[in-house]
Amino acid sequence: MNARQGSYNLFDKALHYCAFKNVKLQLKLAQYETERYQIHKQNITIDKPVFITSLPRSGTSILLDVLTKTEKFSFQTYQDMPFIFLPLLWHKFSHKFEKKVGKIERAHSDGLHINLHSPEAFEEVFFKAFWPQSYQKAQISIWSESHNLAYDKFFQCHIQKLILRDKQKGYLNRTRYISKNNLNISRVKYLSQLFPTATILIPFREPLQHAMSLLRQHQNFTLRHESDTFSQRYMADIGHFDFGKNLKPINFNNRNETSKYKQNTLNFWLEYWIQAYSYLLDNKTENCTFFSFDLLCESPMQSLNHLADCLNIEAETVLKSLSIIKKIETHDLEIKSVNKQLIDKAYILQNKLLYLSIN
């Protein structure tokens, strides 16, 4: 989830409003960019991309940080804002005015620090552009397996642009694509069909601690959105509906009814945890790889070796990030008010996930 909006000045905000109010124009300019750089003649193959996806607070950001440091992947960065659709044209223009900004803590207040060159999750903007109807209700539906050919063509071309941009900057080893997008858990089948050689990396955590972390971040962003309307607008624009006043849960069961639990309770988030990972287990493809974030933090060297092997990366490039793997912060839990049936279901589900986990 993006945190740079906290440092936006008046000009930055105006530029953001202009860019996101004119997404259709960005799409037209993206086509112009494709033709100008003759993307289809660049002979850039999309092989073995990695899509990191899961519920938020499962370790997706740390995994993205670890894997992008291997220098094997192309990815979106904060510097791509706000013209996310135009990675080549916007880079050519914006790098001339690039500010040297030190790392700042992201909006989660979780100890992770970012700067303009840090990887970030912007993929959802593309899905919003091609499926605007999917975001109009209080919940987001599971993605249809019927393909939108215009999106498929655009997204494949966009990935090629990111790889080309890195090649032009001298990053010749960045020949694969990687992203982190929490809402991709609603479309694992779609992505598996579009990219047959992809790995969909799905981290998971112990359910009660994970649910508590989700609850705390929901409370954190609810307060933030109440006091900062631009923050709420910004996160909705980039497709982050995970927390706060923007919250749009994924409708994993394809039902009209909403949860009987209130969103500011541990029951709500534990039930959501169960729905999410039940859906993923029931709908996993051969591309899906489950990865225990708890085990990563307990045995980082062993887990990173397994991860490198799974992704066909030299282990030493992944082990460079060994020092950033920290012990998971645990929350004090008051479980007397938590539905025992939910707890039992969650731990049965966790055991199934652990059985499938590569680490």
Task: Encode pLDDT of 337-359 as tens digits.
Answer: 999 999 999 999 999 999 999 99
Cβ pair 313, 63 in contact under 8 A: no
User: Looking at per-residue confidence, does 353 or 257 come out higher?
Assistant: 353
Q: What is the pLDDT of residue 33?
A: 97
Give the chain's domain count. Answer: 1
CA-to-CA distance for 126 and 5, rounded, in angstroms?
20
Task: Encode pLDDT of 210-240 as tens digits.
Answer: 999 999 999 999 999 999 999 999 999 999 9
| 3-state SS assignment for residue 140 | strand
Range of the domain at 262: 4-356
What is the band of 334 on the pLDDT scale with cuts at 50, 70, 90?
confident
Q: Give the domain CATH number at 28.
A: 3.40.50
Q: Distance between terminal CA atoms of the chain?
A: 26
Adjacent-strand bridge partners of 200:
51, 288
List of residues 6+ apart from 3 with CB closer than 8 A: 104, 105, 106, 107, 108, 114
Task: For the chain, give the mean pLDDT.
Answer: 92
Angle at 192 between CA 186 and CA 196, to 5 degrees: 170
* H helix or E strand, kind and range, residue 275: helix 266-283
Adjacent-strand bridge partners of 140:
250
Q: Is the pLDDT of residue 187 over 90?
A: yes
CA-to-CA distance for 64 and 120, rounded, in angstroms?
8
Phi, psi dihedrals of residue 203, rounded to the nearest 5°: -75, 155
Task: Encode pLDDT of 68-118 as tens digits.
Answer: 999 999 999 999 999 999 999 999 988 766 666 555 554 555 555 555 678
Q: What is the pLDDT of residue 215?
A: 97
How far CA 58 is from CA of 61, 204, 319, in Å, comes to 8, 5, 20
Cβ pair 339, 268 in contact under 8 A: no
Return the beta strands (E) in the chain as ranges: 50-52, 73-74, 104-105, 113-114, 140-141, 176-180, 199-204, 250-251, 288-292
Q: What is the pLDDT of residue 37?
A: 96
Buried b (16+ CB within 10 A) or exposed e, 304-339: bebbbeebebeeebbbebeeebeebeeeeeeeeebb
Q: What is the pLDDT of residue 3?
A: 45
CA-to-CA distance for 318 and 1, rounded, in angstroms?
23
User: Looking at per-residue confidence, does 262 or 115 come out higher?
Assistant: 262
CA-to-CA distance for 75 and 163, rounded, in angstroms?
8
